[in-house]
Structure 1
Amino acid sequence: MKWLLMPRHNKAVLSSLFRFSSFSIFRPFSSKIDAAADDWNPNFVHPSAIVHPNAILGQGVSIGPFCTVGSSAKLGNACKLYPGSHVFGHTQMGDNCILMTGAVVGDELPGKTVIGSNNTIGHHAVVGVKCQDLKYKDGDECFLRIGDNNEIREYSSIHRSSNPNYQTVIGHSNLIMGSCHVAHDCKIGNNNILANSSLLAGHVIVEDYVHTAGATVVHQYCRLGSFCFIGGGSVVSQDVPKFMMVSGDRAELRGLNLEGLRRRGFSSTEIKGLRAAYRKIFMPMSFESGSIEDRLEDLAQHEELGQIPVICSMIQSIRDSFSDNRRGICKFRHWNAS
């Protein structure tokens, strides 16, 4: 092997890389330890890592070769940084977070990146850096907040907010697959799945239990309602109401996300009611059924369907999409009996 011909100190560093997972070559690091810790478990920092003495480390933190931890960073208990990962700026990470090789978290900008516990940041992902909005002004504070139990896979990018009045927010238990992009000021709820190369422009809102298939593109200021499904390769330029499925360029309503509703434990009565409600709203039996607002009102007053909570939630989701400063709903085909 060629590296055997290198100078002795280079061989030692490279050799230690191959033994990183065992932590046998780590030395205890006596930088600033979280004062809240009652019992101190030693941290392990590779000799080639650069950890600022003002950085705050919890108990049992492991920092691998060629990592960087900045002066304003705070790492929770049992965080693990794999080789070549970096934490910059005012960044706070909760307990048991993992940064895979090449991951970058935080930026030397005014503002803060706050990440909860049990999060994994994938290989070469970039999280909490400056946004790509030209309206951003140098010196403005910008923010990113991420909850707990999220998995952010390789080469994804998540940006801070565009100004001090906003913040980019990601909730809990989300799976953000490889090469996804979450732009400035997005709000992502809980238990969502963004498949590979899903791209969210600025100010997009993703509610809960949303599933985007691969290569989905979402326009600025759109809202994806809870339990909706976005077909692969879709370009979403208007809101997707709750429980619905869309696909295409530009994305059109294709019906209810029936399989997703079943998987999430919706009862047969709820699903049957949603199907009947969908037909009344989007598949009227004649051209004399009035506007969509009329059909929503008729459904809300329906003796049976209007009393089912999930149908009321769907009606409200559609109505909200037509309010001021919203983009309306994705196009739908006007089916009728004639």
Structure 2
Amino acid sequence: MIQPLAYIHPQAKIAGNVVIEPFVTIHKDVVIEEGTWIGSNVTIMDGARIGKNCRIFPGAVISAIPQDLKFDGEETTAEIGDNTTIRECVTVNRATKDKWKTVIGKNCLIQAYSHIAHDCIVGDNCIFSNSTTLAGHIIVGDYVVLAGLVAVHQFCHIGSHAFIAGGSLVRKDVPPFVKAAREPLSYVGINSVGLRRRGFSSNQINEIQDIYRVLFVKNNNLTKALDIIEAEYKPTEIRDEILDFVRSSNRGVMKGFGQSKGML
């Protein structure tokens, strides 16, 4: 159902059962798949690729050009996965030639007034609360929860199943499975509630907790902590995911609360 007060470029590719409310503007190079609902006063610009059964609420702007002075008009995309909800006045910018696409995964909820900048890659099943802001080139794993007013510095990496408390400023990488809060952002425990909800066993949760005690609580420096974890904990997917994340960090990982800045 397409309301007559909407403007849709004749070359946009819109599935037959997409609902488009009044005063929507859809540009030429746009693809919208089956079952999606586009609320009134939404603007969908060139490069948008919107999946099945999405809901985009009034005032959102999808696939505007990057807020990056290096952008030179290259043909890039902003991609939104199936069953994702974009609430009021969210802005999602398309990419630069760094990654060529900005991506929000499947089954995500991006709440009102949030901003996802160019070249961000967001995993599946994420929840971003109101006014969350991602700068450019950020990678967010699956099942990440960002509470309201979280601001993430460009090029940061947030691991899967992490929870970041409201009002946090994220300047360093946040490893998987943890809770992060305080200023400067610090480790405050593991995301045990979220892990239980997603079917992690007690043994797995205990393993995660033990590894992060070595990394963040026992005042080891980073190199020593990684050596201890590798030597004393048998290889598992969880252990290896944590080790790989920390070792591959470009910006450095956040510190443990109470650790000196030099420790990490």
Find the counterpart in structure 1 of residue 35 from structure 2: 96
Could you tell me how far apart the structure 1 residues matched to 2:98 and 2:74 are?
A: 6
Find the counterpart in structure 2 of residue 212 from structure 1: 146
Establish whether residue 298 from structure 1 lines up as the match of residue 228 from structure 2. yes
Aligned residue runs from structure 1 range 101-112, under 5 A: 101-107=40-46, 112=47
**Pairwise CA distance, 1:164:** 7.2
User: Could you tell me whether the CA contact under 8 Å between 2:216 and 2:255 is conserved in 1?
Assistant: no
**Pairwise CA distance, 1:177:** 0.6
**Pairwise CA distance, 1:65:** 3.9
Q: Deviations over 1:10-48 (max 9, x none)?
A: xxxxxxxxxxxxxxxxxxxxxxxxxxxxxxxxxxxxxxx
**Pairwise CA distance, 1:165:** 5.1
TM-score (norm 1): 0.73
Find the counterpart in structure 1 of residue 63 from structure 2: 128
**Pairwise CA distance, 1:193:** 0.4
Find the counterpart in structure 2 of residue 316 from structure 1: 244
Aligned AA (1:132): Q
Find the counterpart in structure 2 of residue 241 from structure 1: 175
Could you tell me how far apart the structure 2 residues matched to 1:260 and 1:129 are?
A: 33
SS in 1 for 2:240: helix
SS in 2 for 1:317: helix
Q: Deviations over 1:98-132 (max 9, x none)?
A: 1001111114xxxx221111111111100011111
**Pairwise CA distance, 1:195:** 0.6
SS in 2 for 1:313: helix
Find the counterpart in structure 2 of residue 86 from structure 1: 25
- Identical columns (%): 35
SS in 1 for 2:200: coil
Q: Deviations over 1:141-191 (max 9, x none)?
A: 222122211100111000011237521111111110111100001001100
Find the counterpart in structure 1 of residue 88 from structure 2: 154
Find the counterpart in structure 1 of residue 253 from structure 2: 329
Return 66-75 or 211-220, whichever deviates more. 66-75
Q: Deviations over 1:245-299 (max 9, x none)?
A: 1113331111211111111111001111111111122222xx6x5x311221221
SS in 1 for 2:234: helix
Find the counterpart in structure 1 of residue 122 from structure 2: 188
Establish whether residue 222 from structure 1 lines up as the match of residue 162 from structure 2. no
SS in 1 for 2:92: strand
Find the counterpart in structure 2 of residue 57 from structure 1: none
TM-score (norm 2): 0.93
Q: Provide closer, same or farther for how the CA distance between residues 163 and 243 of structure 1 changes in structure 2, counting only shifts above 3 A.
A: same
User: Could you tell me whether the CA contact under 8 Å between 2:187 and 2:216 is conserved in 1?
Assistant: no
Could you tell me how far apart the structure 1 residues matched to 2:48 and 2:90 are?
A: 16
User: 4+ runs of 1 displaced by more than 6 Å?
Assistant: none
**How many pairs are equivalent?**
260
User: Could you tell me whether the CA contact under 8 Å between 1:142 and 1:164 is conserved in 2?
Assistant: no
Match of 1:168 among 97, 102, 107: 102
Q: Provide closer, same or farther for how the CA distance between residues 265 and 165 of structure 1 changes in structure 2, counting only shifts above 3 A.
A: closer
Larger RCO: Structure 1 or Structure 2 (Cα < 8 Å, ≥ 6 residues apart)? Answer: 2
SS in 1 for 2:245: helix
CA RMSD between the two structures = 1.7
Q: Which runs of 5+ in 2 are unaligned?
A: 260-264
Q: Which runs of 5+ in 1 are unaligned?
A: 1-61
Could you tell me how far apart the structure 2 residues matched to 1:164 and 1:299 are?
A: 34
Aligned AA (2:257): R
Rg larger in structure: 1
Aligned AA (2:256): F
Q: Deviations over 1:27-83 (max 9, x none)?
A: xxxxxxxxxxxxxxxxxxxxxxxxxxxxxxxxxxx1114100013201013100011
